[in-house]
């Protein structure tokens, strides 16, 4: 696919896990929506088969063979949404990059709303499924999760879990995903100084297949939230984190030992067999360890976590292979 003239290329990255009934409908919906926006926009769609056991790969590969705007990647097994998005991001060429779920619950007709928000000056736009078509058993944990995430990160978004988002090219180029970090892209982006916006989006009922996510994703998500908070707040100053812990431990342990020493001089002996004595010693040792860990951490400041997702891919559609060869030839 070639980008013509002054047209704006929109990239759509869509992870797929057993969604054979929706792939063709979603692709058609996206292309129709972009086409209806006028000649200033073009679209490329990148499907990532994240370990499907149905006919999803065959369908998306067939679409890629018949349409230069559609590309397909197949993982060797299910590696999760974050790595699927990362693999798709690496194939994108658009100035604005969308992520969508493949289950048709996201409405392609709302693409212009995202573009309008980006054109107003924000760097990323997150969808907000204000009226979710899901049971209470899914809505309640999601509501709690989003409230906790918004409070702890100070980012006023209502729906971090919403897969319908769009980003400026530079946002995606600045971030690498792993684990379950996909839901925290806005947090990582805002930490780098990018501006986030939010729009309400429709949430259609699921008509085909079933959800691939259970309650355990929220427990994993909260663990990842701690990781995100640590990396965004302390990655550039780990010595402050460990040094602060060490300082508190040292002052506490030292205070306990001073207190026991005073008791010893007052004749309240022995003190060596008191649990408080051992706690003071332990806190002092912990203080030294934390201080040392803080110093060592400073040597690894600014390191980043990267993943070579290419080793996870089993197959690519032929047009992706050809495009990669053309890019190498240009270099």
pLDDT tens string 152-205: 888 989 998 899 999 999 999 988 887 778 888 998 899 888 999 999 999 887
Q: Are 188 and 228 in contact (CB under 8 A)?
A: yes
Q: What is the DSSP letter of 205?
A: P
Q: Is the pLDDT of residue 92 over 90?
A: yes
Pairing of strands 70-75, 8-16: unpaired
Pick 62 or 215 by higher pLDDT.
Answer: 62
Domain assignment present for residue 2? The answer is no
Structure-derived torsion over alpha carbons of residues 108, 52, 86, 215, reported in degrees to the nearest 10: 80
Give me the mean pLDDT over the 301-319 stretch. 65
Q: Is the dihedral of CA 56, 62, 64, 69 positive or negative?
A: negative
- The mean pLDDT value for 211-228 works out to 64
Write 6-9 long-range contacts (CB < 8 A, 24+): 6/40, 7/39, 7/40, 7/41, 7/42, 8/40, 8/41, 8/42, 8/94, 8/95, 8/96, 9/41, 9/42, 9/43, 9/44, 9/93, 9/94, 9/95, 9/96
Q: Are 92 and 44 in contact (CB under 8 A)?
A: yes
Same domain, 101 and 245: no
Q: Residue 41 gets which letter from DSSP? A: E
pLDDT at 215: 54
- For residues 106 and 163, the answer to whether their CB atoms sit within 8 Å is yes
| Domain range enclosing 103 | 8-234+308-330
Q: What is the CATH number for 319?
A: 3.90.550.10
Buried b (16+ CB within 10 A) or exposed e, 101-114: bbbbbbbbebbebb
81-90, 192-201, 228-237: lowest mean pLDDT where?
228-237
Q: Looking at the structure, tell me whether residues 292 and 312 fall in a common domain.
A: no
Model confidence pLDDT, tens digit, residues 33-75: 999 998 789 999 999 999 999 999 999 999 999 999 999 999 9
In this predicted structure, the answer to whether residue 217 has a pLDDT above a threshold of 80 is no
60 occurs within a structural domain:
yes
Task: Between 94 and 226, name the one with better pLDDT.
Answer: 94
What is the enclosing helix (H) or strand (E) of 126?
A: strand 124-128
- pLDDT average, residue stretch 140-148: 84
- Domain membership of residue 68 (yes or no) is yes
Query: What mean pLDDT value characterizes the chain?
Result: 85
Whether residue 213 is found in the same domain as residue 67? yes
- If asked whether residues 135 and 257 sit together in one domain, one would say no
- Is 65 part of a structural domain of the chain? yes
DSSP lists the bridge partners of residue 7 as: none
pLDDT at position 197 is 94
Same domain, 277 and 207: no
Answer yes or no: do 206 and 251 share one domain: no
Give me the percent of the chain exceeding a pLDDT of 90. Answer: 50
Q: Which ranges of 174-235 does DSSP label H, i.e. alpha helix?
A: 185-191, 216-234
pLDDT, position 304: 47
Answer yes or no: is 3 within a domain.
no
- Tokens read off for 309: 């997702």
Who wins on pLDDT, 146 or 303? 146
pLDDT(222) > 90: no
Q: What is the pLDDT of residues 272-297, one digit of tens each?
A: 888 999 999 999 999 999 888 877 77
Number of domains in the chain: 2
Shared domain for 174 and 270, answered yes or no, is no
Whether residues 160 and 252 share a domain: the answer is no
The dihedral sign for the CA sequence 186, 190, 195, 197: positive
- C-alpha to C-alpha distance for 126 and 49, rounded to whole angstroms: 23
Q: How distant, in Å, are the alpha carbons of 30, 69, 74, 92, 311 from that of 317?
A: 19, 12, 9, 14, 16
CB atoms within 10 A of CB 66: 8
Asked if the structure places residue 259 within a domain, the reply is yes
Tell me whether strands 41-49 and 96-99 are parallel, antiparallel or unpaired: unpaired
- What pTM did the predictor assign? 0.73
């Amino acid at each position: 696919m070639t980008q013509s003239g002054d047209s704006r290329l929109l990239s759509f990255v869509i992870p797929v896990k057993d969604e054979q009934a929706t792939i063709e409908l979603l692709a058609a919906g996206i292309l129709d929506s972009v086409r209806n926006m006028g000649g200033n926009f073009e679209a490329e769609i990148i499907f990532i088969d994240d370990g499907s056991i149905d006919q999803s790969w065959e369908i998306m590969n067939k679409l890629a063979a018949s349409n230069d705007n559609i590309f397909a990647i197949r993982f060797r097994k299910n590696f999760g949404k974050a790595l699927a998005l990362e693999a798709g991001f690496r194939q994108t060429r658009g100035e604005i990059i969308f992520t969508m779920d493949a289950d048709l619950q996201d409405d392609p007709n709302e693409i212009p709303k995202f573009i309008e928000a980006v054109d107003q000056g924000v760097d990323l736009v997150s969808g907000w499924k204000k009226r979710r078509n899901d049971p209470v058993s899914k809505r309640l944990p999601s509501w709690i999760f989003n409230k906790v995430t918004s409070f702890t990160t100070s980012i006023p978004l209502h729906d971090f879990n919403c897969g319908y988002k769009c980003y400026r090219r530079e946002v995606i180029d600045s971030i690498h995903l792993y684990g379950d970090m996909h839901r925290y892209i806005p947090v990582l982006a805002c930490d780098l100084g990018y501006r986030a916006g939010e729009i309400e989006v429709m949430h259609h009922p699921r008509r085909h297949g079933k959800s691939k996510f259970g309650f355990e994703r929220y427990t994993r998500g909260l663990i990842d939230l701690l990781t995100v908070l640590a990396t965004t707040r302390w990655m550039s100053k780990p010595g402050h984190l460990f040094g602060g812990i060490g300082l508190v431990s040292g002052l506490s342990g030292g205070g306990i030992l001073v207190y026991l020493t005073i008791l010893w001089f007052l004749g309240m002996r022995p003190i060596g067999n008191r649990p408080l004595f051992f706690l003071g010693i332990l806190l002092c040792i912990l203080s030294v360890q934390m201080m040392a860990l803080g110093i060592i951490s400073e040597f690894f400041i600014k390191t980043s976590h990267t993943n070579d997702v290419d080793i996870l891919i089993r197959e690519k559609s032929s047009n992706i292979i050809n495009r990669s060869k053309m890019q190498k030839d240009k270099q």
